[in-house]
Amino acid sequence: MAFLQERFLLLCLAIFSSLLLSVSSRGAVYRPPTVERLTDRFPRIPFTKGMSTLFGASNIHMKSNGSYADIILDKTSGSGLISKNRYYHGFFSAAIKLPAGFTSGVVLAFYMSNADAFPHNHDEIDFELLGYAKRRQWVLQTNMYGNGSVHTGREEKVYLWFDPTQDFHQYTILWNNHHIVFLVDNIPIREVLHNQAVSSVYPSKPMSLYTTIWDASEWATSGGKYPVNYKYAPFVASLRELKVQGRCLIQKTSSPTGAGCLKNATVSSQDPVNGQEYAKLSKQQMDGLNWVRRKHMYYSYCKDTARYKVMPAECNAY
């Protein structure tokens, strides 16, 4: 009997050691690749200069003269910021640290939209970070709408390769006439090429930049199975390193042009990242994009045959 117990303990130890080695080697495989730091090319601007309160003013806390901002969700309200300008194209980035703990049903969004001006055929480019239940991790969803409604989105979901609650990480949207690129810590996680297949739904109208935190209990976690539990509130998302650069829609009022907006723009003007330097991904960036899609992506609308009997035209490129 003692011999069998000893053998059993040795077997358990071997399995445990194997698991440790597997985790160790997986960590090496999943180390992110080196890429160009696009965010280093653009200046930071204070949130107080680039953005205004959208809703939940009492749950927005500015710090260090507007260099930092906390946006908060609690029982009374969520909160959000909106850019002071509308942009035709450009470079939009912020470093974000997400709330820790049980965050099921909580959504932090960093996105561009013109739904207020075009409610029936709006454009939108989204980062949505979806909170999690116990033993789960935050999910990053990207989405795009062009001349459409909420029923015509193009969602993709990835698992992050880091804990977004422990430190600040950069979330970036590059949008120009050539492509839309979503980047996390400067690593491209998704590229939408502006080609003939997608041209009818490619965002083309000027958009505002938003960042919001809100209660999405109805859909965010397992289809609404796990709603927000306010026992764990307040849910605080911290923001810094706001970077906004693009051509803007000039308002008819006499109010001054806000930070991140190039002056003397007209309706046909494009942003400074619309040149050949930003027209295509470099080899390093393509390697990073392929790494994310191989190792971390777990949902793409282009693979959802249950949802689409006939795939959207742009999916033929995948």
Size (the chain), residues: 318
3-state DSSP assignment of residue 313: helix
pLDDT for residue 1 = 53
pLDDT for residue 73 = 98
pLDDT for residue 276 = 87
Cα–Cα distance for residue pair 74/96, rounded to 1 Å = 18
pLDDT for residue 237 = 98
Q: Averaged over 246-270, what is the pLDDT?
A: 59
pLDDT exceeds 60 at position 6: no
pLDDT exceeds 80 at position 64: yes
Q: What percent of the chain has pLDDT over 90?
A: 64
Cα–Cα distance for residue pair 236/106, rounded to 1 Å = 10
pLDDT band (50, 70, 90) for residue 248? confident
Cα–Cα distance for residue pair 45/124, rounded to 1 Å = 23
Domains and CATH numbers, the chain: 38-317 (2.60.120.200)
pLDDT in tens, 208-243: 999 999 998 887 677 667 789 999 999 999 999 999
pLDDT for residue 80 = 98
3-state DSSP assignment of residue 228: coil
The residue assigned the tokens 């839309």 is 180
Q: Kindly report each contact of residues 191-196 with a partner whose C-beta sits within 8 Å and lies 24 or more positions away, as own/partner.
A: 191/281, 191/289, 192/144, 192/154, 192/314, 193/314, 193/317, 195/314, 195/317
pLDDT for residue 47 = 98
pLDDT for residue 263 = 58
pLDDT for residue 140 = 96
pLDDT band (50, 70, 90) for residue 116? very high
pLDDT for residue 274 = 85
Report the range of poorest mean pLDDT among 146-150, 167-171, 275-279. Answer: 146-150
pLDDT for residue 14 = 43
176 near 277, Cβ under 8 Å? Answer: no
Report the range of poorest mean pLDDT among 106-110, 223-227, 275-279, 290-294. Answer: 223-227
Which position has the higher pLDDT, 54 or 222? 54
Cα–Cα distance for residue pair 156/190, rounded to 1 Å = 8
Q: Which residues are catalytic?
A: 124, 128
pLDDT for residue 224 = 66
Which position has the higher pLDDT, 37 or 252? 37
pLDDT exceeds 60 at position 5: no
Residue 93: HSE in the Cβ half-sphere, 13 Å Cα cutoff:
27
Handedness of CA 317, 36, 175, 132 (dihedral sign): positive
The mean of the pLDDT values for the chain is: 85
Task: Please give the structure tokens belonging to residue 173.
Answer: 């949207």
Residue 210, number of CB atoms within 10 A of its CB: 19
pLDDT in tens, 19-32: 333 333 333 346 88
pLDDT for residue 264 = 52
Report the range of poorest mean pLDDT among 44-48, 101-105, 148-152. Answer: 148-152
126 near 150, Cβ under 8 Å? Answer: no
Report the range of poorest mean pLDDT among 1-5, 124-128, 144-148, 194-198. Answer: 1-5
